[in-house]
Structure 1
Amino acid sequence: MQQFKVSGMSCGHCVRAVTQAIQALEQTARVEVDLAAGLVRVEGNLDAAQIQAAIREEGYEIAPA
């Protein structure tokens, strides 16, 4: 499972946007979002660069956690 620090997430819409962006690349990816900690965990076959690009495209800042 890969983990990333994502800033700018604050609500359910943010969770949906991040989850849908990742699952658009891999439908079966498991995505966990912890709003309080600002963490996104992804389990699947995507590499870190793909995940980071998808989340950045939604307008969030992201870095490996």
Structure 2
Amino acid sequence: MHKFTLPDMSCGHCVAAITEALKDADPHARVEIDLPTKTAQVDSAQARDSLAHVLAEAGYPPAPAA
């Protein structure tokens, strides 16, 4: 399970765009998004760096991991 903080995510449209981008990259991914905390948890066979690239390409670059 990969957890990302997405500071640019602000609305339901963002949630839909992020979910779609991740599902396009891995149709079998399980995506859980928490809009109030601006986090996404992704259960995927894809590498974390690959998923981070997908998010950045969709316009939602993840914050650096703490």
Same amino acid, percent of matched pairs: 37
Following the alignment from structure 1 to structure 2, what is the Cα–Cα distance between the partners of residues 24 and 59? 15
Q: Normalising to structure 2: TM-score of the pair?
A: 0.89
Residues 28-64 of structure 1, C-alpha deviations (whole Å, 9 max, x = no match): 1000111110101000101111110111011113033
Query: Could you say what secondary structure the match of 1:61 adopts?
Result: coil
Q: CA RMSD in A?
A: 1.2
Distance (Å, rounded) in 2 between the aligned partners of 1:9 and 1:25: 19
Q: Which residue of 1 aligns with 2:47?
A: 47
SS in 1 for 2:6: strand
Q: 1 or 2, which has the higher strand percentage?
A: 1
Report the Cα distance in structure 2 between the residues aligned to 1:59 and 1:20, rounded to whole angstroms: 12
TM superposition score normalised by structure 1: 0.90
1:33 is matched with: 33
Match in the other structure for 1:18 = 18
**Post-superposition, which runs of at least 4 consecutive aligned residues in structure 1 deviate over 2 A?**
none
Unaligned runs of 5+ in 1: none
